[in-house]
Structures are given as structure tokens and as C-alpha cells.
Amino acid sequence: MKFTELKLDERVLEAISFMGFEKATPIQEQAIPIVLEGGDLIACAQTGTGKTAAFVLPLIHKLIDKEEANVDALIIVPTRELAVQIEQQIQGLAYFAPVSSIAIYGGGDGVDFQQQKRALTKGTNIVVATPGKLLSHLNLGYVKVQNLKHLILDEADRMLDMGFIEDLSSIINYLPKDRQTLMFSATMPPSIRKLAKDILTDPKEVSLAISKPAAGVDQKVYLSFDEQKVGILAHLLKNRPDYDSVIVFTSTKSKVTEIVSALKKQGFKARGISSMLVQAEREEVLRMFRARRIRVLVATDVMSRGIDIKDLNMVVNYDVPNDAEDYVHRIGRTARVDAKGEAVTFISPKEMGKFARIESLIEMSIEKLAPPEELGKGPEWRANSSGGGGNRGRGGQGDGKRNFKSKSNQNRNRGNGRPNRGPSGEKKD
């Protein structure tokens, strides 16, 4: 569906077009009309589906011509990374609209607190906040929430997992009852249903099924300490001499360099691909990989989406991907119609919670293996590890497809008390 069919303000449509969004995603198609109508909504959708824009776009549309900025909309999220990421997306989508926003989260210094206090006292259209820090401000009595019209709980299941339920109820007690409430959650356990019953009025429901890994992919995980990961990778490659096309995904470009040099030392033909290479170099590396002149390609998470190579023998997630859609998308590259592909994920103790979450989303339990004996004992599996990963989004890199910094945002974002950024953060990895 085209965005123009969704009856959004022209200034919102202009920003959408600058962001490079061509058509609405399914969650946007379903949720935007409900939010525009003013009804309550409960939506089951994961990161990666475009769910942020599904509530941000109609919010901006509604607030665009408001004379006075109060705290008109409050978006509560579980982590500071998500708060920053959503607020960046608001800045991009409100680039041509006089709608102000601020991210409120803990961990800063006294200067940050004063800046947040100023923005909350003066009034800012959209506040994106983590529960604890927001509550500290609310308890001090100066936050202008008396005219609040929209409350959004994002990643509600995760907020409950993180023990924020009491903070959430205290926050909600401060808010006017006459408001629109939207709740987004990746899963719908009974605790979320109960919360929805308590705080939503006659909500419409939208649910998006997550894609599932293809049946032909043989998935396994190795429970390993960080220092064992290179050894396991070398072991896998040695034991699969017929594999001539393997991709390894890792989280940072410095790790790409580390892994490539460790593999080369052991005689494997490996090359890395990250933002450290200029475009022409990236293309050359990909060409060589496709021609099977490089056996192992090591890439950053950010590169992973841009690399369109299928028919691999094996995909290795050197680190656990940030969300289930990424996991499914990556391992799908190995599944050929006529053959089996292999997908291996290395899980360190701090990544166990994150992987357990992926398992629950794809509704599969993946076989957990210990490292080969010569590498020593690996960690024990703990599904409820706290290392669920703060940010299940795109690593807080901003969301825009283009980077257009030519226009000052200064007058467009009122009252957020700090320098404005461009509408889209440049992708980094």
C-alpha cells in the first residue's frame, strides 16, 4: 500500500519520501488507520517490521498543527538504546513538521537531568522514555502531562520481563484517563493480555506472524566463551573441506579484522567486509566470494542486510543477532531447494537471554553443543540469562535510508533542549 492512501499530512509524506520508504509495511498498513481514528490498539509485532513508524507517523500527523507543546504523547520503552533509536526516527519523520521530541533515559549526568527537566517543564510534543528515569521526573512534579493525549508502550513484553510493571503502573497513575493508548509487544503472554485489559479501552488488535526458518536449514548452536569462538570456527571449517562458501556475521568491524586475521593465520582463505572498505572494495570482495575464490567472508551485522548472496554452505553467527527476523533472514541464505544448509550460532553467557528470546519467537528449540574438547569446557545453558541485549533494533544507528543534512532542523523541533540532528543517522558499524 502506498503511504498516500493512508491520508497522512503532506509534510509527513514528504519526510517518508526522503527516508526512502516506498510503501507501507503490513504493520503500518494495519495500525496507522486505527491510530489516526483515535482508538486503542494492541499490536503483536517484532523489531524489523516497521512498527516504530507505525505509531510515530500517525502521532506526528496528529500533533503537527498543535499550537502549544505539552507532553502530548509519551512513548515508554524498556531500554535507553531503544529510546534513542525511536527518538532519532521521530526526528527524521518530523523533519518537515513542527513537532518536538526528546529521549529521557538514565545513566547520564546532572547536566542531562537538567536538560531533560527543562524540556519536560517547557513542554515537548513527544517524549520517549525509559520507565525509571521518567518516574523520577514525574515524582518531582514538574512534568506537564495533564493534557497528555497518547500513551504508547513499546516492547511491552520486554518491559514486564525486566520488572518494570510497578513503575509502569505508577507512571500511568499520573496520566489523564482520557487518552489513546497503544501497546506493542513481540509476544502475547498472559501477563501482557492482563496489562492490556487493565490499561486499554476496547482495543483493536493487530497481529503479525514472524517468519519461520526454512525447513532445510540445519540449525545448531555452540555454547562458548568469547575466547573459544575462533577455535570453534576453525574446527568447523577444517571438518567441512567440501564447503567452499561460508559467511560469518559478527557485531563490529574490529571483530571482522580480528576473525579474518586469525583465520588467515590458520591457512583459510578469508576476507572481511565492513564499512572500513570503500564501495569499490566491497564489490570486489563480494565478486571474489561469489566466484568461490574466497572461502570465508566475514561481515558485520550492518553489512548483512546488504549482502545478497544465497546458496551458501554455512552461515555462522559469531555473535547472536539482535532480533529474530535478522536470524531467520540470515540463516535462510543457506537453504537451497535441493540441498541442506547449515546455520551455526555461537552463544556466549551474556548472549543466552537474547538467543532464548529468538527461540521463543521462532517457536523452536535449537540443539545446544559444547565446544570441541580440545578447546576446554564451555558455559552451561541458562535461558533466563540477563544478557537479553538492550537493543533489539538496528543497533541504534538511525533509521533513514538517506542522509540529508543540508537543512537545519533547528526551528522544526521545539523545546528538546539540545542540538538537533539530521533526519537520518548515518549507518555505522
Q: Which cell numbers in the block locate residue 392? A: 533489539
**Residues forming beta bridges with residue 347, ordered by sequence position:** 223
25 binds ligand AMP (CB under 6 A): yes
Q: Which cell numbers in the block locate residue 179? A: 487518552
24 binds ligand AMP (CB under 6 A): yes
Q: Which stretch binds ligand AMP (CB under 6 A): 4-12, 43-51, 236-244, 336-344?
A: 43-51
Query: Which residue, 18 or 21, is less far from ligand AMP as judged by CB?
Result: 21
Asked whether 51 and 185 are in contact (CB, 8 A), the reply is no
- Identified binder of ligand AMP from the candidate list 34, 44, 49, 164, rule CB under 6 A: 49
Beta strand 126-129 with 73-76 is parallel
Q: How far is CA 138 from CA 155, 160, 167, in A?
A: 21, 20, 11
Q: How far is the CB of 391 from ligand AMP (least distance, A)?
A: 10
Total interface residues for ligand AMP by CB under 6 A: 14
CB atoms within 10 A of CB 402: 13
**Residues forming beta bridges with residue 151, ordered by sequence position:** 74, 181
Amino acid identity of residue 109, one-letter, is: D
Amino acid identity of residue 313, one-letter, is: N
Q: How far is the CB of 53 from ligand AMP (least distance, A)?
A: 4
CB atoms within 10 A of CB 308: 7
DSSP secondary structure letter of residue 140: T
Q: Which cell numbers in the block locate residue 320? A: 547472536
Q: Using alpha carbons only, how large is the chain's radius of gyration in Å?
A: 23
48 binds ligand AMP (CB under 6 A): yes
Q: How far is the CB of 197 from ligand AMP (least distance, A)?
A: 25
Query: Which residue, 342 or 399, is less far from ligand AMP as judged by CB?
Result: 399
Query: Which residue, 165 or 307, is less far from ligand AMP as judged by CB?
Result: 307
Exposed/middle/buried for 115, CB within 10 Å: 0-12, 13-18, 19+?
A: middle
CB atoms within 10 A of CB 349: 18
User: What is the x/- site pattern for ligand AMP, positions 156-195, by CB under 6 A?
Assistant: ----------------------------------------
**Residues forming beta bridges with residue 297, ordered by sequence position:** 247, 271
Q: How far is the CB of 187 from ligand AMP (least distance, A)?
A: 15
Asked whether 249 and 319 are in contact (CB, 8 A), the reply is yes
DSSP string, 248-304: EEES-HHHHHHHHHHHHHTT--EEEESTTS-HHHHHHHHHHHHTTS-SEEEEEHHHH
Q: How far is CA 377 from CA 98, 197, 230, in A?
A: 58, 47, 15
Query: Which residue, 88 or 125, is less far from ligand AMP as judged by CB?
Result: 88
Q: How far is the CB of 407 from ligand AMP (least distance, A)?
A: 19
Q: Which stretch binds ligand AMP (CB under 6 A): 19-27, 148-156, 163-171, 220-228?
A: 19-27
Q: How far is the CB of 31 from ligand AMP (least distance, A)?
A: 11
Asked whether 306 and 326 are in contact (CB, 8 A), the reply is no
Q: How far is the CB of 147 from ligand AMP (least distance, A)?
A: 27
d(CA 395, CA 412): 26
391 binds ligand AMP (CB under 6 A): no
**Residues forming beta bridges with residue 395, ordered by sequence position:** none
Site for ligand AMP in 392-421 (CB under 6 A): 393-394, 399
- Identified binder of ligand AMP from the candidate list 8, 40, 47, 210, rule CB under 6 A: 47
Query: Which residue, 31 or 171, is less far from ligand AMP as judged by CB?
Result: 31
Q: Which stretch binds ligand AMP (CB under 6 A): 18-26, 108-116, 140-148, 372-380?
A: 18-26
Q: How far is the CB of 24 from ligand AMP (least distance, A)?
A: 5
Beta strand 126-129 with 101-104 is parallel
354 binds ligand AMP (CB under 6 A): no
Site for ligand AMP in 50-69 (CB under 6 A): 50-53
Q: Which stretch binds ligand AMP (CB under 6 A): 68-76, 161-169, 285-293, 391-399?
A: 391-399
User: What is the x/- site pattern for ligand AMP, positions 96-135, by CB under 6 A?
Assistant: ----------------------------------------
Query: Which residue, 24 or 129, is less far from ligand AMP as judged by CB?
Result: 24
d(CA 59, CA 82): 18
Q: How far is the CB of 195 from ligand AMP (least distance, A)?
A: 21
- Name the residues that contact ligand AMP, by CB under 6 A: 21, 24-25, 28, 47-53, 393-394, 399
